[in-house]
Copies of this chain bind each other. A is one copy, B any other.
């Protein structure tokens, strides 16, 4: 099972599901064209509400990470379809803003911040192997 839910976490379950799929994509375990489990079967396997899984799939669709076929179900999008648009880059910069603000207030230089981001990047890359 590639998906684990932490029911004790402060992170909402649907967000954990979204991130688990993104982790699968980032790690190359989920490739373009791969099908995700049906909402019903994933909800059953994880012991969560079908609405929760549906909410996660809808968000993944909205972000351009999956497409939802009437017959095939949830399918991982191609790298081209997932590629960051100008608007998405802008939103990512907005999400980065509070973290950057905090790092400056805590006396980190841009280089410190980038060293930290390299650590996080390699953490995800190591999970890949």
Q: What are the residues of chain B within 8 A of A92 when measuring CB–CB?
A: 99, 102-103, 106, 116
Contacting pair B114 A117 (CB below 8 A): yes
- Residue among B89, B97, B113, B118 making CB contact with A110, cutoff 8 Å: B118
A124 and B100 in contact, given A82-B105, A106-B88, A108-B84 (Cβ under 8 angstroms): yes
Taking the complex as formed, is A93 at the interface, i.e. its CB lies under 8 A from any CB of chain B?
yes
Interface of A: prevailing SS: helix
Within 8 A of B (CB), among A8-59: 19, 22-23, 25-26
Give the docked Cα–Cα distance between A103 and B22 (Å).
10
Min C-beta distance of A124 to chain B, whole Å: 6
- Residue among B63, B79, B113, B121 making CB contact with A100, cutoff 8 Å: B121
Contacting pair B120 A117 (CB below 8 A): no
Contacting pair A101 B124 (CB below 8 A): yes
Give the docked Cα–Cα distance between A60 and B36 (Å).
42
Contacting pair A84 B96 (CB below 8 A): no
Q: Which residues of A contact B (CB under 8 A)?
A: 19, 22-23, 25-26, 63, 65, 79, 82-84, 88-89, 92-93, 95-108, 110, 113-114, 116-121, 123-124
